[in-house]
Amino acid sequence: MDSALVIGAGIGGLAAASRLARAGYAVTVFEKSGRPGGRTNIVETDGFRFDTGPTLFLMQEVFQQTYADLGEQMEDHLDLIRMDPTYQVHFHDGSKLLLTADLLHMREQLNIFEPGSFEAYARFLSEGHRHYYASLDRFVGRNFRSIFEYLSLANIPMIVHLKALNKHYANVSSYFKDPRLRAAFTFQNMYLGVSPYDALATYSLLQYTELAEGVWFPRGGMYRVIESLASVAEKLGVQFRYHTPVAKIQVEGHRATGVVLEDDTFVPGHVVVANADLPYVYRSMLPDNGMAKRLNQLKYTSSALMFYWGVRGSVDPLLPHNVFLSDHRYRESFTSIFRDLTLPEPPSIYIHVPSKIDPTCAPPDHHCLMVLVPVGHINEQQPQDWDQLRKRAREAVLDTLAKLGLGDISDRIVSEATLGPPDYQAMNLEKGSAFGLSHNFLQVGYLRPKNRHDHYGNLYFAGASTHPGTGLPMVLLSARLTVERILQEQPQPR
């Protein structure tokens, strides 16, 4: 039986491996750590359980299609809880906006911020609906084989229709005048690690997916998605080799012949799929052809300072999802992150309290607080003092919670773990960037790094830094598009 070797058991590697196994390949996945998931993983400490990756389950239909393509039903694997309201947004002046699918409640709130803005909100959601479905059908949900196909006479109107040449903040500003509303409907770009001042206006689809399609939470946490996909892969015959780092991809002529493990064992394969971070693969696993240097010069997404706190007692009035925006210095905060590669002053903060949805993730009378503070990625020219930045971020979070009415919770933190850019870099994420390559116009679609190597015709890629981009739904699409190419371009597996 023809063999396929998959490097990395992130969600893209799991989905690609399962699709290849279902197509008839004998698939082996090599994972350097002791369990699947990659960035979508868990921290378990002192009786607390935290997701270390995404906390919002969005674009449900992409997950449903993945399970269906693997001969499964998503509902048999995941018990999804709809989150409505999705989250509460706190502004610097003390005002709050509760984002919800309840249109009457949204109308009441929006018209307090800006009289007449609900009508603009309805138009904004309608645009997001158009962007969402057009993108899935014709932009992120397909392969582009050439620049001529991407910029064809048939495709250019679609790019214009999706406002791919417009900036997201400027586009939102055409709907809302109040700077708080402009911030409330653009900060979601940070899910992709991109500034709203640089992001494509296409990303109005993010707000549409949240408020119309819904934000969900799998009972047991987001890692349940990884566990279920790993079990599906095993059911399809995929072999997993954990604690087995790949040192390099062996190549000969125009083909990859297999992989070399860290212990110098050579494993041959007919097809190789790399789910490790793409810049790392080119820099560390392949002969130097100049691509690693070119990738290093591209734009990267932001990083994050993460705090995982186990807290004794109540954390009211926090909701499951909470956003605190430095909206009075909104543009300056993104300049600090993306130009100066540092921590804004003051920073914006996201706090997730999964124990308010699923009490099993914390001991009785305790809560899990997952705190994300956006920060720039590693500055290779002038390295940052990450201990000092982490201390500043921690103090800012504690001060924010105190002002919210929780008082000083520092003496109630009974368990603490942290992650930051150096930790992400140690996970082989280039520059410690938490989300991979950025998503400006010159790094999306056909202009994004390809999901097949230009020289080695049987070496493919799946993950956040290849087409179509970052985020769990996009990486699932990446796996689907990559396997479609394999099945079209390689001999039928025997």
| pLDDT for the residue numbered 59 | 94
**DSSP H/E element including 97:** strand 96-99
| pLDDT for the residue numbered 159 | 86
Decide if pLDDT at 380 tops 80: yes
Tens digits of per-residue pLDDT, 208-220?
A: 999 999 999 999 9
Decide if pLDDT at 327 tops 80: no
Fill in the DSSP letter of residue 282.
Answer: I
Helix (H/G/I), strand (E/B), else coil: 366 = strand
Mean pLDDT on 217-243: 97
Mean pLDDT on 240-247: 98
* Listed range (115-124, 138-147, 343-352) with the worst mean pLDDT: 138-147
Q: Of 242, 211, 209, which Cα lies nearest the Cα of 136?
A: 209
Decide if pLDDT at 392 tops 90: yes
Beta strands in 423-468 (DSSP E): 459-461
pLDDT band at 127 (very low <50, low <70, confident <90, very high): very high
Sign of CA dihedral 106, 111, 113, 117: positive
Tens digits of per-residue pLDDT, 82-100?
A: 999 999 999 999 999 999 9
Tens digits of per-residue pLDDT, 69-78?
A: 999 999 999 9
Helix (H/G/I), strand (E/B), else coil: 334 = helix
| pLDDT for the residue numbered 139 | 83
| pLDDT for the residue numbered 138 | 82
Residue 142: phi and psi, rounded to 5, are -145, 160
- What is the Cα 176 distance to its own chain's centre? 27
Task: Find the DSSP H helices in 307-406.
Answer: 330-338, 386-401
Decide if pLDDT at 382 tops 80: yes
| pLDDT for the residue numbered 156 | 86
Instruction: Decide: 188 and 99 in contact? Cβ < 8 Å.
Output: no
Distance, in Å, from the CA atom of 424 to the CA atom of 412, rounded to the nearest integer, reads 28
Decide if pLDDT at 104 tops 90: yes
| pLDDT for the residue numbered 315 | 97
Burial (CB count within 10 angstroms: exposed 0-12, middle 13-18, buried 19+), residue 388: exposed
| pLDDT for the residue numbered 148 | 87
Decide if pLDDT at 437 tops 90: yes
Mean pLDDT on 248-267: 98
Instruction: Decide: 480 and 462 in contact? Cβ < 8 Å.
Output: no
b/e map 395-422, b = 16+ CB within 10 Å: ebbbebbeebebeebeebeebbbebbbe
Q: Of 479, 478, 417, 33, which Cα lies nearest the Cα of 240?
A: 33
Task: Please give the span between the terminal C-alpha atoms of the chain, in angstroms, as a whole number.
Answer: 5
**Higher-confidence position of 341 and 141:** 341
pLDDT band at 222 (very low <50, low <70, confident <90, very high): very high
Taking CA atoms, 68 is separated from 18, 72, 168, 339, 445, in Å, by: 12, 5, 33, 43, 25
